[in-house]
Structure 1
Amino acid sequence: MNTFVLFSLEHLVAIAVLFICLLILFMVRNVLARPFNHTLLFERLFALSLLAMEISYHLVLILEGIWSLSESLPLHLCSISLFCSCFLLWTGSKRLYDFIFFAGMGGALQAVLTPSIIVNFPDFKFIQFFYVHIGIILTAFYILWVKSYQPTFKSVIKTMVVLNIIFPFIFVLNILIQGNYMFLREKPINGSLLDFLGPFPWYIVSLEIVAFSIFVVVWLIFRKWKTPPKVF
């Protein structure tokens, strides 16, 4: 079987694609920010592509006969962030952006660096995994650099509150359907940051502290971000 190997050539290429895309986005941010550009069309097409990849993934699982309630529901943090990203890109509403910028980007970045997958390139599930996770990160930075969003400390608090509202529901659901959504019952199979945070259930408490700390650091880095004057 073509099994995924952490930091294999295929994995390193996927990581490189992420950082190349971020570099390109940063370089063209002023061009995209111009009001006469057709950015709305681009945003909606990108949102549709993310949604199409997610739907296609579930169709593939169904066709392969491996879709299940315990493993296939879109209830992982990145799945929720994906739908929020699609809504944000399609509507332009920034109400969900705090969640995407902190929780979504943080979760997606960890997923890209330490993927919880077993298949390797060119399997469609490998391509879909990296496409949607890179897409979440690009959406977060697109709104930051092109739409001139600036995160606040209040954004950090709001994101932590939302996460702690979601966690209990997911935890109970995991028990009912024998799932492991948001990795609240056991750690990812390929290793992750959770491996350094203690055994179950203490790693969940540790994760709260680590997540808050990372969110604060991200806020400190980007809170004073100033985009150059727009060129008309």
Structure 2
Amino acid sequence: MDPSWAQETFTPYGVSHWVLLGAAAVGAVLLVRAGRRQRGTRSEVLFARAFALLLGLFALAMQVYRVLPSQWDIGVSLPLHLSDLTWVVAVYALWTRRWWAHSLTYYWGLTLNPQAMLTPALDAPGFPHVDFVDFWVQHTLVVWAAIYLTWGLGLRPGWRALATAVLVTVAWGVLVFGFNSVTGTNYGFLNAKPDNPSLLDVMGPWPWYLAVEFAVGVAAWALITWPWTRAARPTTSAN
């Protein structure tokens, strides 16, 4: 029997899925250790910016690939998913360590990306197909960026960061919902649930699952903000 890596279609919770999740966890631990050693040194800036270039160049290359005539599909080729916006702010956060960019990377990268990785909406061949590589590399690098900035370099979110993330997310949702309604697309799964099993399945029918998703998301973001506000040391995010 062929190994999971050689299967024609990616299988959730197959061998390859577990290997990828394990590799993401190990990489996160290593990045935290590296970030803590680099704090306050020149290598902190160099490493963070190299990380930003790696993520940015990879994501840009994949975006160029998506808009090639052979790949073009208005329903999937445009960078309108929240994950597309996430990698952009993650690159900026790594390069500048601005508080607002870190905030968006923290909230989006540590809730939306892990959910996508645990229940991937990936109807594509496995490794080394470009769709497989794109999905896993981009989602993993963004999660790593959020973890590296927060637990490695010591940037901290707060209630202002949470409010910023909520406002920007709502603005994105309104704009993309309008685009979906006009074009018949479903970016962000704002106009219909994905075909694959996901957490949205337990949140009711459309449009009610949007309200439930928003409430659960804000509650989750508040929960991962509260421990930092209890800490004695001040916020260290760059202004």
Is TM > 0.5 for Structure 1 vs Structure 2? yes
2:73 is the counterpart of 1:68:
yes
Q: 1:17 to 1:200 in 2, by over 3 A?
A: same
CA shift, 1:64, in A, is: 7.3
For 2:130, the equivalent position in structure 1 comes to: 124
- Alpha carbons 1:78, 1:108 under 8 Å: kept: yes
Amino acid at match of 1:203: Y
- Mapped pair 1:52 → 2:67: no
Q: Give the deviation of 1:23 after TM superposition.
A: 1.5
- Report the counterpart of residue 107 of structure 1 in structure 2: 112
Q: Distance in 2 between matches of 1:28 and 1:109?
A: 22
Per-residue deviation, 1:105: 2.3
Report the 3-state secondary structure (helix = DSSP H, G, I; strand = E; otherwise coil) of the residue aligned with 1:70. coil
8 Å contact from structure 2 (residues 24, 140) kept in 1: yes
Distance 1:205 1:118 in 2: 27
Q: 2:92 aligns with which of 87, 96, 100?
A: 87
CA distance in structure 1 between the partners assigned to 2:229 and 2:117 by the alignment: 24
Q: How many residues align?
A: 226
CA shift, 1:205, in A, is 0.6
**What is the 5 A alignment of 1:147-226?**
147-224=153-230
Q: Which whole-Å CA distance do the structure 2 matches of 1:109 and 1:190 have between them?
A: 16
2:27 maps to which of 13, 21, 29: 21
Identity %: 26
- For each residue in 1:39-83, what CA deviation from the matched residue of structure 2 results, as whole angstroms up to 9, or x when unmatched? 222222221221222222234334571222222111111110101
Residue of structure 1 equivalent to 2:14: 8
- Distance, in Å, in 1 between the alignment partners of 2:212 and 2:98 is 32
The one-letter code sitting in structure 2 at the alignment partner of 1:61 is: R
Contact 1:76-1:182 within 8 A present in 2 as well:
yes
For residues 144 and 110 of structure 1, the distance between their equivalents in structure 2, rounded to whole angstroms, comes to: 19
Q: Is the 8 A contact 1:58 1:67 kept in 2?
A: no
Contiguous gaps of at least 5 residues in structure 2: 1-6, 234-239
TM-score (norm 2): 0.86
